[in-house]
């Protein structure tokens, strides 16, 4: 280590040793230490966005200054970034994860009751809201005649108004050197086929692009896309139009 007398005010001294690593999503990080005179530390501290002295595709994401005895200051810079790649190669380091969970849905939306006649469904919904007669004074219960209708009404009357439906999500994450594409953002809320080794769905189910998130560190942008699997029969194409390629 240089002696204190060799550290001149107004100069930043990069130390020869530094560490570099790359993670599974393609983000590069490095740690570089600089020395300077303590009176110059604040002015000379590299600011976020400063390019690494030797690796031109990573930038400062965080800086820490430590003031030691005498006139010496030690500045530690954390760098992050991603290599520039062709779009076709950008997802070579993509990571895929699947999530399984349950969501609470109205009991009347269960596939077991999908074939209820409209008059029965409406009558059950009115009973569920606290009414016992329609506008003409007819008993709503008399309109519920089918076995499935009577079954679901009995469940609702004993307090079972919802059921748990399985939900499957598929996520893709990767790191690139630029922000998310506008075409990815425009497809949110549309029927869309996920990337990667996505599991095959049965029962006419398909996927909906549920969200896109982005976080920046240095010159790296971590993109995560999430798709949500439908129930049986798929997402309604009249509402969730097919995403553009």
7: nearest Cα among 51, 40, 50: 40
Distance of CA 64 to the CA centre of its chain: 30
What the block records as the tokens of 180 is 């998310």
pLDDT tens for the chain, 245 residues: list them.
444 446 888 999 999 889 999 999 999 999 999 999 999 999 999 999 999 999 999 999 999 999 987 889 999 999 999 999 988 888 889 999 999 999 898 999 888 998 899 999 999 999 988 898 888 888 998 899 999 999 999 999 999 999 998 899 999 999 999 999 888 888 899 999 999 999 999 889 999 999 999 999 999 999 999 999 998 889 999 999 864 44
The predicted pLDDT at position 70 comes to 81
Are 162 and 107 in contact by the 8 Å Cβ rule? The answer is: yes
Phi first, then psi: give them for residue 78, nearest 5 degrees: -100, 125
The predicted pLDDT at position 242 comes to 63
What the block records as the tokens of 218 is 């240095």
Are 173 and 226 in contact by the 8 Å Cβ rule? The answer is: no
Beta-carbon count within 10 A of 64 CB: 11
Q: Cα(121)–Cα(116) distance, rounded to whole angstroms?
A: 6
User: Could you give the angle at which helices 147-157 and 118-128 cross, rounded to 10 degrees?
Assistant: 10
Farthest-apart Cα atoms in the chain, separation:
99
Beta-carbon count within 10 A of 38 CB: 19
Are 193 and 229 in contact by the 8 Å Cβ rule? The answer is: no
The predicted pLDDT at position 3 comes to 45
The predicted pLDDT at position 33 comes to 95
Could you tell me if residue 172 is left (phi over 0), alpha (psi between -120 and 50 degrees) or otherwise beta? beta
Per-residue pLDDT reduced to its tens digit, 105-150 = 899 988 899 889 999 999 999 998 889 888 888 899 889 999 999 9
Q: Which residues are paired to 139 by β-bridges? A: 133
The predicted pLDDT at position 29 comes to 97
């Amino acid at each position: 280590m240089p002696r204190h007398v060799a550290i001149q005010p107004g100069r930043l001294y990069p130390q020869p040793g530094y560490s570099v690593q790359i993670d599974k999503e393609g983000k590069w990080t490095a740690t570089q230490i600089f020395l300077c005179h303590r009176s110059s530390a604040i002015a000379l501290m590299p600011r976020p966005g400063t390019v690494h002295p030797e690796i031109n595709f990573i930038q400062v994401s965080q800086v820490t200054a430590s003031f030691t005895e005498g006139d010496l200051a030690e500045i530690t810079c954390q760098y992050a970034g991603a290599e520039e790649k062709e779009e076709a190669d950008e997802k070579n380091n993509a990571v895929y994860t699947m999530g399984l969970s349950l969501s609470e849905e109205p009991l009347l939306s269960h596939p077991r009751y999908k074939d209820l006649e409209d008059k029965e469904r409406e009558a059950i919904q009115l009973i569920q809201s606290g009414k016992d007669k329609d506008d003409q004074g007819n008993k709503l219960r008399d309109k519920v005649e089918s076995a499935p209708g009577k079954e679901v009404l009995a469940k609702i009357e004993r307090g079972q108004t919802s059921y748990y439906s399985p939900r499957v999500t598929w996520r893709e994450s990767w790191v690139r050197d630029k922000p998310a594409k506008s075409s990815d953002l425009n497809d949110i809320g549309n029927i869309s086929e996920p990337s990667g080794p996505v599991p095959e769905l049965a029962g006419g189910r398909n996927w909906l692009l549920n969200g896109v998130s982005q976080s920046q560190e240095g010159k790296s942008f971590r993109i995560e896309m999430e798709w949500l699997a439908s129930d049986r029969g798929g997402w309604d194409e009249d509402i969730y139009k097919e995403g553009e390629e």
